[in-house]
Amino acid sequence: MMKTKLFLAVILLVISSLQLNAQCKTNDKNPDHKYAISADCNVDVEAATKSEQFIFKWNAAGNYTFIKSTHDYYFFLLYNPPITPANITNTDTLTFLLSNMEKINLGPCGNFEGKQFNIFMPGLGFTDVYYVCCYYKIEKEQLTKISQLEIKQFTIKSHSNKEPKTFEDEIFKKKTIKSIMEDATCILSL
């Protein structure tokens, strides 16, 4: 009887592991890497989760990707800031407030320059859009916490014309919170 229970437990563990890996889709490169302009940070991407939107406001937008390199993990941010143009310096931080009220602070792996490009928007015509992309180093323990606890709020610090700027917002959409947790779990499983 004990052997049967142990056998069933092993089978269930294998099935759940296969289901997690089936849902965990990664790339061997970060498609937005070319926009991360930094002379002092070079990330060798081993695996990257899909790019997901987590900031969508009238004045700001942003996508994230979890990255695994040979030795480290990163949170990659493609950010269209409300104050433009913007740069992220090595002293700026990205802070997550978790559901247990613990804060996780991430620092960029270098200085990242913002860029401007011109796009066509129906009804508005051509308009200038600014963005900055950044790799934030994230420790395995921090990534584990993000995979287990919901992020309630985030704060992005940047610079515009050498003046410090802060963008703070809450994550309201349950789907976004779930995606962040699943993607953190995914990159940890590799």
pLDDT tens digits, 119-173: 887 888 888 888 999 999 999 999 999 999 999 999 999 998 788 999 999 888 8
When the pLDDT of each residue in the chain is averaged and rounded to a whole number, the result is: 85
pLDDT band at 4 (very low <50, low <70, confident <90, very high): very low
> Do 102 and 145 contact (CB within 8 A), yes or no?
yes
pLDDT band at 22 (very low <50, low <70, confident <90, very high): very low
Determine the pLDDT at residue 83: 74
**Least confident range of 5-9, 37-41, 68-72, 167-171:** 5-9
Site of tokens 């849902």: 23
Residue type, 152: K
**Least confident range of 18-27, 35-44, 82-91, 176-185:** 18-27
Which pair of structure tokens corresponds to residue 110? 């270098």
Q: Is the pLDDT of residue 106 over 60?
A: yes
Determine the pLDDT at residue 29: 87
Q: What average pLDDT does this structure show over 7-11?
A: 32
Determine the pLDDT at residue 93: 96
Report the Cα 144 to chain-centroid distance in Å.
Answer: 14
Q: Is the pLDDT of residue 188 over 60?
A: yes
CA geometry: angle at 49 spanning 44 and 53, to 5°? 120
